Chain A
Amino acid sequence: MSFSKFRKRDPAPSRLRYKFSRWMLSPVFKKTLLYGVPIILLTLPSLVFFNDQNNKEQVQEIAFDLYRKLIERPEFMIDALSIEGASDSLNSEIREVLGLRFPISSFDLDLADLQKRILSLPPVEIAEAHIKGGGILHLKVGEKAPALLLRKENGFAVLSEYGQYIRSVPSREHFFDLPVIAGEGAESAASQAMNIFQVINKKFDHIRGLVFVGQRRWNIIMKTGQVVMLPENDPAKAVQKILILDQAEQILSRDIAVFDFRLSSRITLRLPLDEFFEIDPKVVGVRN
């Protein structure tokens, strides 16, 4: 007979239990136990797993596959490119430059980069790229307007009115109505040339073009071989003066080789020389 097993347990907590209860009541210990231990238990296996390079690569591969699968869903695919506001030649040029192979995922497209690449083409002035619904990449392009022809050693360069290079052409065939300029550094003074042409405004049709002399001023070359030298400052005003003079006295139609307007207060005319470098006697006696 033993009643010992029916004996009531000692109600007092054991020393260990007492200490543990006190630890659990101290905030730092409790927080470490409640958050620290689960975090360690969760992170430790994954750290061990990723310590192996093979595992790491495998997981990376799987993750990349999943990513590709996601971005190559039909909702995100782009099938066509539409270009607005470009001529046919520019259109094909843009397509060539972009080199896109459709279908392509919209995640793989960098619109800003596309825009930059299109803008790097000389004829393009403005470009906007956005993705339209239905899988279409839409490009809005503004072309530069050709305004001048710059005569080069072989052929011509088409310039915009600000002197920006657009393209090279071998002859004036397609751009016969554009005024021609020449000379070293002429493209940098293209806007001045445009001004001069505006003033002239086709009032005299026998102009061959403008020559930029010494990278500072313009000469007007007539079809007759006559040369009008314009001043460095405000050549447009000088041209206006010439026009007035021509209206009044038809000076340009006279047999004079060089009209020197470089100094507006002292206009100088040079007579043509004959083959012996002497002044043509036919011209002497002209009222001047």
Chain B
Amino acid sequence: MTELYHSQRAMRAMRSAALHRGVIAVLDVGTSKIGCLVLKFDGTTEKIDGDGVGSLAGQSGFQVIGSALTKSRGVEYGEIVSMPETERAIRTALQSAQKLANSRVDHVIACISGGSPRSYGLEGSIDIKSEIVDDKDIADVLGSCDIPSFESDREVLHAQPVNFSLDQRTGLSDPRGQIGKNLSVDMHMLTIKEKTIRDLAYCIKRCDLELAGVASSSYVAALSSLVEDEKELGAACIDLGGGSSNISIFWKKHMIFAETIKMGGELVTRDISMGLQVSLSKAERIKTRNGGVLATGLDDREMIEITSETNDWELDRRIISRSDLIGIMRPRIEEILEEVRCSLDGAGFEDLPSRKIVLTGGASQIPGIDSLASKILGQQVRLGRPMRIHRLPQAYSGPNCSGLVGLSLFAAHPQDEWWDFSPRSKNFNGQSVSRVFRWFRDNW
């Protein structure tokens, strides 16, 4: 636990060093693609107005100077299964992004979708010695949270204070400077398998880069596709990726739940490949060009030619209708969405005041998925696209890059986490400091 605390703090220090240098890369290692953006921080800070949100919602102050998107290798269900392959893919992405940026990058912030994340709600409470709450009280109350027991092969990825209560008042986002007696905190903690994070860190290290931060991809996808009101009132962001679907629930501007379902768009491709007996790449192409989930009468007449090179006339020249394709795709999509529904129910999503659902990620580009999702998940479903950030290429503004854009936002404005507050030292109180001081004064 303390080891992680130190490593997270080290990553924070690295991030601030990178911001000082002005150039940092964000890397999204996904199952189907690896995306990399090189960000340049020009030092301008956004003016924050009264309600804590700037005019650009945290997207100013940096710009994208290099970008690369390449096919992922050696990753399955968001987890690295072949280290050398993944390392090569990361190298490819980083080299082309660096070339475009014409600048060398040494620090990288990455996100992890695999590793079966698990959410915990933590509570802590202390009595305040001095009446006014200060930084040390916050650190104390964060330290007073009782850590739930989790397996030893898990690591804490996020530990974010969600809500502070001071005496009877609750819903405080920043209690510092307020007067009270009893301070309590609700914290959201996310753990993932240690192996996943180690593997990724090793791959990045093999590419001569320093890891300056890690984030859960469910979290960063929501950062870029949810708008402020949705974050405030309660919303779920569902990032339908290639290998896994990441769910995160936001309420009162904080993530309160995150989970990953190991089902994604690649399953659909595999179904099409098996159902139509074509290669995976061909199936991917058919899916993206003609895919859909809602069949209409027109789709019976829209014919898709399927070509292959088996030298068998019957197999090489086939024509199917789009309805057939939809018939293959729809059950799998329904299964994924039902799985999402199941997960949301388990998280208590129906208790939130607003039950907005935002679909993003590559698989959310399937036509008609929003109306299918509204049948399964609830009425308030919309398709989310990432926010605009400065100089983001047009090709990266689609929903498949929401994780990448969210990671840039995370790099620019990370949320305060548990390890951002230094805990009060137990054995080094004021008295001993004065004793040391006196010893120096007497002896020198």
Contacts and interface: CB of A to CB of B under 8 A. Distances in A.
Interface of A: 10-13, 15, 18-19, 21-22, 25-26
A284 to B, nearest CB: 113
Given A25-B102, A26-B104, A13 B95 contact: yes
Interface in B425-444: none
B207 interface: yes
Contacts of B95: 13, 18, 21
Contact of B88 (A12, A25, A26): A12
Given A13-B95, A19-B208, A25 B89 contact: no
B154 interface: no
Contact of B92 (A12, A19, A22, A26): A12
A211 B104 CA distance: 98
Q: Is the interface of A mostly helix, strand, loop or mixed?
A: helix
Nearest to B89: A12
A21 B99 contact: yes
B191 to A, nearest CB: 32
B100 to A, nearest CB: 11
Q: Is the interface of B mostly helix, strand, loop or mixed?
A: helix
Interface string B84-99: 0000110110110011
Given A18-B207, A25-B104, A26-B104, A13 B91 contact: yes
Interface string B69-96: 0100000000000000000110110110
B101 to A, nearest CB: 8
A19 B95 CA distance: 9
A22 B208 CA distance: 9
Contacts of B91: 12-13, 15, 18
Contacts of B89: 12
Given A15-B91, A25-B103, 5 more contacts: A13-B95, A18-B95, A18-B207, A21-B99, A22-B104
Interface residues of B, number: 14
A11 B70 CA distance: 10
B104 A10 contact: no
Interface in B197-213: 207-208
B98 A25 contact: yes
B92 A11 contact: yes
B159 to A, nearest CB: 34
B92 A21 contact: no
A10 B95 CA distance: 14
B436 to A, nearest CB: 43
Highest count of chain A CB atoms <10 Å: which of B91, B94, B98, B102: B91
Nearest to B101: A25
Nearest to B94: A18
Highest count of chain B CB atoms <10 Å: which of A12, A15, A19, A22: A12
A19 B94 CA distance: 11
Nearest to B93: A12
Nearest to A19: B208
Interface string B287-305: 0000000000000000000
Contacts of B92: 11-13
Interface string B319-342: 000000000000000000000000
A59 B98 CA distance: 50
Nearest to B99: A21
B187 to A, nearest CB: 39
A18 B94 CA distance: 9
15 contacts: A10-B88, A12-B91, A13-B91, A18-B207, A18-B208, A19-B208, A21-B95, A21-B99, A22-B98, A22-B104, A22-B208, A25-B98, A25-B99, A25-B102, A25-B103
Nearest to B206: A15
Contacts of A21: 95, 98-99
A69 B102 CA distance: 54
Contacts of A26: 104
A12 B70 CA distance: 10
Contacts of B208: 18-19, 22
Nearest to B90: A12
Interface string B194-235: 000000000000011000000000000000000000000000
Nearest to A27: B104
Contacts of B88: 10, 12
The 6 closest A-B pairs by CB, nearest first: A12-B88, A25-B104, A12-B92, A18-B91, A26-B104, A13-B95
A25 B102 CA distance: 7
A188 B30 CA distance: 108
A194 B181 CA distance: 116
A95 to B, nearest CB: 74
A85 B98 CA distance: 82
Highest count of chain A CB atoms <10 Å: which of B89, B104, B208: B104
A11 B103 CA distance: 21
B75 to A, nearest CB: 14
Contacts of B104: 22, 25-26
Nearest to A17: B95
Nearest to B91: A18
Contacts of A19: 208
Contacts of A15: 91
A12 B87 CA distance: 9
A168 to B, nearest CB: 87
Interface string B4-45: 000000000000000000000000000000000000000000
A143 to B, nearest CB: 78
Nearest to A24: B104
B252 to A, nearest CB: 43
B93 to A, nearest CB: 9
A26 B88 CA distance: 21
A13 B93 CA distance: 10
Contacts of A25: 98-99, 102-104
Contacts of B102: 25
A181 to B, nearest CB: 90
A103 B104 CA distance: 68
A15 B89 CA distance: 12
A15 B203 CA distance: 12
B292 to A, nearest CB: 32
A10 B74 CA distance: 14
A85 to B, nearest CB: 74
A101 to B, nearest CB: 68
Contacts of A12: 88-89, 91-92
Nearest to A22: B104
Nearest to A11: B92
A24 to B, nearest CB: 9
B68 to A, nearest CB: 12
B366 to A, nearest CB: 28
A14 to B, nearest CB: 9
Interface in B142-193: none
